[in-house]
A and B are shown apart, each in its own frame.
Chain A
């Protein structure tokens, strides 16, 4: 190598290193955003922790700010209840739809069905809420006139949230099913199994971790939803009684935050207690993201992608002595058993009685297990591993037959309980238990009969069933969109689009809201695009598996799981109060920008990663620097996917209400404001305002909904067109 060449090489090395550190710096911004969000939420909740006390916050049975009672249990239980309900609705439908798309639907339908389910994801929360308030709630009230006085209830919230969680569950489950190696299917089919048998017994079990991840992610979405639940849940801060009373009103954390924040005096204990609720919400979201991480690493292990998937928990466990780990495991099992018995017996006993019964059952089960182990040990029948030390080892030790029996018994018990709960809301206990048993018996009979059914016929029935589920799913989407358009379209005239609001928003147009939304989105993009694309480039092209990179990735995950209302509160405390900007366009833009940042980072990263390695190698081999390769080769090749992702992010930003309602928006404007420190009107907030606060004729509200939906849906159409063209052009 000549001297000049070596200098050139060095220079090239330096530029690349500098670039790398610059990119790393930008990517690390995600860490500081997460840090500041948690810091501000925590700092604002310290007053409540100090004045009320952490114990009282969790043990006071009521949330009654007027009486200075800040018990978070009813609110937290609201979030748990509405999420659990949503999952019961969304999981069977979503997983079936995913199976249909992945295993049954013919090739060209797959893409169409996938994009349709994406449209679900794109409908703004406030539009779902509007739909729920206008159509779902009255329907439920008329269906159950004796149970629902007003219609707004846990049930209404869960149905809406279930619909909203569907797209996440469908798309992630579908990916998991697709990831099952082809060889599994081929082996099963080669052995004479039908397609349906293969799906049921090979593909789905192989994808079960991925499907669990999908469910967990769907849960994350449901926990964080704000506008929709707030509009239909009744907002009563109570624990449903009995705990499965879906007709009860509830008030999830997000709803509490969104509408109580309007009434509090900043700096009061009440204000701080709300931030404490936000902190709890963040904790729940973090837990969900941790669990989903563990699931993902398991899935990878399963298909041999990763040799030893280590999670934080595993690492922690390996550091502790074995006896402590076993103690914790057994403790958790005992606690679960205790809680189940406690909750199950609550309708008949008082709390003390239920607790005593729970303790007794737990103690009884532990002693039975211990006695059994002792007996086996005496008879010398313990396996090679010796004495089981924790509950799962104990279960593993049992013979296959016993295990199957226990599973079957638990399954039947679950059926009885699941049938009992809803039936007992209408009829007395005896009838409910009997109907539970009847259904369990039917189930057993059906299982027996099923074995005799010709497997081709079974397949036909199953596939038809799956198709029906898919049809219903699409039907729901159509109903939502069509109803809103039918009612709102007549209002949408040229004057409506270009006029200013009159008579305090009761008449006139929504021009300032349209302009405001465009400004908010443009501003959010100005903030999120450079940061997001550069971070994405860093993660895809430059990062190695270092602690810093892992932290960045984790923070991006946390950001993308952070509920939009938490971004709203963060924006409010920082831009409105701390910086003293008041409600301002720029405050809203920054808040929205932070919210869509993780979407842009992810999209960019994934798009870049999809570019084949050969392109990079070719470029590098020709003497290009890494940066040149990235900018001139990789980025252009990934251009289509990046743009598609950005367009989808624009759609999402345009529809968000919670992040801007406390930072940027006002309900009336008679001029288009000039300064970025002025507040703006915005379509999603206007829809919320008109359907909850302003008094507008129904046509006005639906008109706003139509404009908002059209804006968001046109983004989807645009994204699909870009994707289509791009896919045609580049084929590796």
Chain B
């Protein structure tokens, strides 16, 4: 019977799909079943954590699960127990600090980058603040080429943004990012937009500076101070834009999380942070 064959075929196909699906879903394949640490949060810390993951998993049976989200998500996930560790590129807020314990794993500077062709290599904090408040709108007003300025910001709640905002507010109290400033969801998009333009200004983590194409964009001096790790660490006239990179745990870290965080603070872990362009907080290897 033609119909019967069809029916059998249908049942077979469905069965194969289901069995294969279940097999795949339940996961044939890898068989290591060790401890898993779930980590989520700041996209600034995420690439560094990716490096940690590669190195750490080589030597231990621990599996690290790393998701992005943003600093806010990192804190929330750590509080709710969705993640064992939350990554933040800002300090804990008062409400978060009641539930979470923060461990500083590195310090990061925020560099101000401009497109090639703006003709500017040095701006004061006040000038930058005015640019993002749209009080200065042409590069010629700050000694550059005569063309409009295209500022690029990050979303409220981003750790990079909050570091930038704090520094700008300190320098220029009426600083306020205008609503018509383009907002990019991530550091890479900021870099991409600055490099594709010839009149843009944005700000990114030091960790990303290696990725700039020097023919298309560059980091500028802020208040005459170059964006380097040494300048952030200086006691006198330090580079003004820096923040802590934090791993947050519910209560003091314990178990696998404690071992992992201790390894990050070890000379080897700190060296990896330094290699990624961040500023170590403990001696490096």
Complex: chain B residue closest to A267, CB-CB: B76
Of the candidates B53, B66, B182, the one whose C-beta lies within 8 Å of that of A249 is B182
Please report the number of residue pairs spanning A and B whose Cβ atoms sit closer than 8 angstroms.
224
- On whether the beta carbons of A631 and B24 are closer than 8 Å, the reply is no
Contact mask for chain B residues 40-51; partner A; CB cutoff 8 A; 1 contact, 0 none: 100100111011
- What's the minimum C-beta distance from B276 to chain A, rounded to whole angstroms? 9
- On whether the beta carbons of B199 and A149 are closer than 8 Å, the reply is yes
- On whether the beta carbons of B21 and A235 are closer than 8 Å, the reply is no
Chain B: number of interface residues, binned into ranges: 35 or more
- On whether the beta carbons of A525 and B3 are closer than 8 Å, the reply is no
Of the candidates B2, B18, B65, B82, the one whose C-beta lies within 8 Å of that of A666 is B65
B contact residues around A501 at 8 Å (CB): 50
A31-39, A60-68, A312-320, A355-363 - interface stretch:
A60-68
B184-192, B234-242, B254-262 - interface stretch:
B184-192
Known pairs A149-B148, A582-B77, A675-B27; A64 contacts B33 (CB<8 A): no
- On whether the beta carbons of A671 and B70 are closer than 8 Å, the reply is no
Max count, chain B CB within 10 A of own CB: residue among A264, A679, A691: A264
CB of A566 within 8 Å of the partner chain = no
B102-110, B125-133, B152-160, B222-230 - interface stretch:
B152-160
B contact residues around A571 at 8 Å (CB): none
Known pairs A522-B25, A580-B82, A674-B33; A237 contacts B3 (CB<8 A): no
- On whether the beta carbons of B3 and A633 are closer than 8 Å, the reply is yes
- On whether the beta carbons of B3 and A637 are closer than 8 Å, the reply is yes
Known pairs A64-B179, A238-B180; A264 contacts B10 (CB<8 A): no
CB of B63 within 8 Å of the partner chain = yes
Complex: chain B residue closest to A520, CB-CB: B25
Contact mask for chain B residues 7-25; partner A; CB cutoff 8 A; 1 contact, 0 none: 1011001100110111011
Query: Interface size (A, Cβ < 8 Å)?
Result: 82
- On whether the beta carbons of A263 and B71 are closer than 8 Å, the reply is yes
Complex: chain B residue closest to A500, CB-CB: B54
- On whether the beta carbons of B65 and A678 are closer than 8 Å, the reply is yes
Contact mask for chain A residues 666-689; partner B; CB cutoff 8 A; 1 contact, 0 none: 111111111110110000000001
- On whether the beta carbons of A248 and B180 are closer than 8 Å, the reply is yes
- On whether the beta carbons of B72 and A522 are closer than 8 Å, the reply is no
- On whether the beta carbons of B185 and A692 are closer than 8 Å, the reply is yes
CB of B197 within 8 Å of the partner chain = yes
- On whether the beta carbons of B27 and A672 are closer than 8 Å, the reply is yes
Contact mask for chain A residues 27-62; partner B; CB cutoff 8 A; 1 contact, 0 none: 000000000000000000000000000000000001
- On whether the beta carbons of B20 and A149 are closer than 8 Å, the reply is no
- What's the minimum C-beta distance from B131 to chain A, rounded to whole angstroms? 13
The docked-state distance in angstroms from the alpha carbon of A585 to that of B26 is: 10
Complex: chain B residue closest to A153, CB-CB: B182
A contact residues around B265 at 8 Å (CB): none
The docked-state distance in angstroms from the alpha carbon of A449 to that of B193 is: 49
CB of B144 within 8 Å of the partner chain = no
- What's the minimum C-beta distance from A162 to chain B, rounded to whole angstroms? 22
The docked-state distance in angstroms from the alpha carbon of A724 to that of B73 is: 49
Max count, chain B CB within 10 A of own CB: residue among A631, A633, A669, A695: A695
The docked-state distance in angstroms from the alpha carbon of A633 to that of B188 is: 57
CB of B183 within 8 Å of the partner chain = yes
Of the candidates A522, A580, A679, the one whose C-beta lies within 8 Å of that of B65 is A679
The docked-state distance in angstroms from the alpha carbon of A518 to that of B187 is: 30
Complex: chain A residue closest to B148, CB-CB: A149
- On whether the beta carbons of B182 and A235 are closer than 8 Å, the reply is yes
Complex: chain A residue closest to B208, CB-CB: A695
- On whether the beta carbons of B66 and A676 are closer than 8 Å, the reply is no
B contact residues around A563 at 8 Å (CB): none
CB of A186 within 8 Å of the partner chain = no
Chain B residues near A (Cβ < 8 Å):
2-4, 6-7, 9-10, 13-14, 17-18, 20-22, 24-27, 29-33, 36, 38, 40, 43, 46-48, 50-51, 53-54, 57, 63, 65-73, 75-77, 80-83, 93, 95-96, 148, 150, 152, 155-158, 165, 176-177, 179-189, 191-193, 196-197, 199-200, 208, 211
Q: A504-B47, A632-B7 are in contact. List 15 more A-B contacts (CB 8 A).
A: A66-B177, A133-B192, A141-B197, A249-B182, A263-B72, A263-B73, A266-B76, A270-B157, A522-B17, A583-B65, A668-B53, A673-B65, A674-B27, A678-B65, A693-B43
Selected A-B contacts with CB under 8 Å, 23 pairs: A65-B156, A230-B185, A235-B183, A259-B185, A262-B69, A262-B72, A262-B73, A262-B155, A263-B155, A265-B76, A266-B76, A266-B80, A525-B21, A529-B17, A577-B80, A583-B67, A583-B82, A636-B10, A639-B10, A667-B66, A669-B65, A693-B186, A695-B208
Chain A residues near B (Cβ < 8 Å):
62-67, 74, 133, 137-138, 141, 149-152, 230, 234-238, 248-249, 251, 259-260, 262-267, 270, 501-505, 515, 518-519, 522-523, 525-526, 529, 576-577, 580, 582-583, 585-586, 589, 631-633, 635-637, 639, 643, 665-676, 678-679, 689, 691-695
